Structure 1
């Protein structure tokens, strides 16, 4: 079902895949010993690197020498998110974990997508289900925590609806972007 859902995403042209690290996509392991969630792997295989729903950059694992990868950009954004939430907790800014989160959650969140207006899509890497999926969360401007669903398949419905509300209907879901080499 997840693969069918991802295959239904409309692309504007051919996906950008030449710089994807498929060995990492299949072989990377989180602290719990499991790999990337099946819904994410299906998304990356279908859509490659691109802008989803007019504003979301979903970071795939990329080969060495390329930018915008999960291990590079995603890790930097995860570090920024965790530092921001540590500061917010210290300052007792409880609204930062509203409406759905709690203060222990940011320690296990991993950024896998970033919007062009500063929102993040996150996995709770401490809560893998029996199918290998992580719950998906959204942090809007790193100032809130919204639970979007049990997996990327479910979360994409919410992301698509919010993006359509902001940007209007689009003839495609994913706009492939060129692979960028690091300098």
Structure 2
């Protein structure tokens, strides 16, 4: 390879690297870009309450509730949700978790013909609308059946006060589903 080709290849790599730089979102994006807390992500500092909703789909068997209860207890033990955020924020973000009583669905809340066995393939765009319908139903149920007030989970926005967005809500289920972050 002659010098011209090496220089051209090096220049092309440099341009590609520079063009890709704005697309990079490293692990520390959560702390670098603080202005999109609320709609786009949970707070990065201060204190928040996180709501965890266990969903049991009866036809799929029992979920590992004991494991979920151990992970979401409000201790700073090594393998808890609270400790994960404490360590990874270097003590700048503290959480308290409310683990609700399980919400039971007798059958999969998604259309059985499209998602047999309640299995949702990763990246399946067709699951979006049924998933939204499920979340709406679930949220209505926990408000009615367990008295959940979502405003209780909105205490830490960009300026560390309520901003109209819940700081953290997680849905755990016993379905074969890899999860989604919205």
Q: Tell me which interval the TM-score lies in, with the shorter structure as reference length.
A: under 0.3
TM-score of the aligned structures, taking structure 1 as reference length: 0.25
Task: Compare CA radii of gyration and give the structure with the larger one.
Answer: 2
TM-score of the aligned structures, taking structure 2 as reference length: 0.25
